[in-house]
Structure 1
Amino acid sequence: MSINKGYQTYQHNAVHTASSGELTLMLYNGCIKFIKQAMKDIDEHNYEAKNNNIQKAQNIIQELMLTLDPKIEISKQILPLYEYMHHLLKEANIQNEITELEEVLQLVSEFRDTWKQVILKNRKTEQSVQGAQV
């Protein structure tokens, strides 16, 4: 098996065995990766690649928007931030501006870091509950 095929299998298994919280974390990480690559593409004047990477980041933001539960109050506060990030990505793509990408990168990184803390806290709580049941 080639290394590339092995990596693809690993990625496939990681996605299909991940919890919903871990999938959200993967989305944030992917968005960060595509934004950083788009910034690099702008520096290198590779506008086709920049466009592709920004569109991938936009698709991730749209997916995050779709996963929000409108019945939960915090979703109503998060949605405008996602919409703002999506708007900045569109503007960055049109204007080839890194400043908008830097702002989105900062916001997505904060969301990711917060989400990571939530996952860790939930794991500790689950371990405590399981330990108490034994």
Structure 2
Amino acid sequence: MVNNAAEAYKRQQIMTATPEALTLMLYNGCLKFMNEGKEAVENKQYENANTLLQKAQQIISEFRITLNMDYDISHQLMPLYNYTYDRLVEGNMKSDPALIQEAIDIIKELRDAWAQAMKKARQDGGTKNVQGDSYVG
């Protein structure tokens, strides 16, 4: 019963989130999957690691697909997303925690920058979302 309520709450949060909040949730989810995947590699739980790292790869793919290339920053983000994706794939294939950690460090930095941009946008009264459509902050 409690689990169903928690799931319903989580679904409601996602359904009512602004585009910028969804992007932050995706960054956080990506970091969660990468950290758990790295831990699974370190514990030689390779099947679980593969599943977790593929989830992170799917989120990074979504970032790449939805990136609005009308902004100069997007031309800097795309190579970072590509590089991070490649580190994850290689880290997964080679079961190398160092490569996965490199991807974690990049996404963590991007997530932190995104959170700062959200905060500034709220202070400035709203702006355009580099990851997609317009939003009001």
- Normalising by structure 2, what TM-score? 0.89
% identity of equivalent residues: 36
Q: Which residue of 1 aligns with 2:118?
A: 119
Q: Which residue of 2 aligns with 1:8?
A: 7
Residue identity matched to 1:38: G
Paired with 2:113 and 2:28, the residues of 1 have a C-alpha distance of: 12
1:77 Cα offset (Å): 1.2
Task: Give the 3-state SS of the residue equivalent to 1:69 in structure 2.
Answer: coil
Q: Which residue of 2 aligns with 1:62?
A: 61
Paired with 2:73 and 2:121, the residues of 1 have a C-alpha distance of: 18
Q: Which residue of 1 aligns with 2:26?
A: 27
Structure 1 unmatched runs, 5+: 128-134
Q: Which residue of 1 aligns with 2:133?
A: none
Q: Which residue of 2 aligns with 1:130?
A: none
Instruction: Write the deviation string for residues 67-94 of structure 1: whole angstroms up to 9, x where unpaired.
Output: 1111211111110110000101100110
Greater Rg by CA:
1
How many residue pairs end up in the alignment? 126
1:119 Cα offset (Å): 0.9
Residue identity matched to 2:71: I
Structure with greater helix percent? 1
Q: Aligned ranges for residues 1-134 of structure 1 at < 5 Å?
A: 2-126=1-125
CA-based RMSD of the aligned residues comes to: 1.1
Task: Give the 3-state SS of the residue equivalent to 1:91 in structure 2.
Answer: helix
Paired with 1:100 and 1:38, the residues of 2 have a C-alpha distance of: 12
Task: Give the 3-state SS of the residue equivalent to 1:15 in structure 2.
Answer: helix
Paired with 2:53 and 2:30, the residues of 1 have a C-alpha distance of: 9
- Normalising by structure 1, what TM-score? 0.91
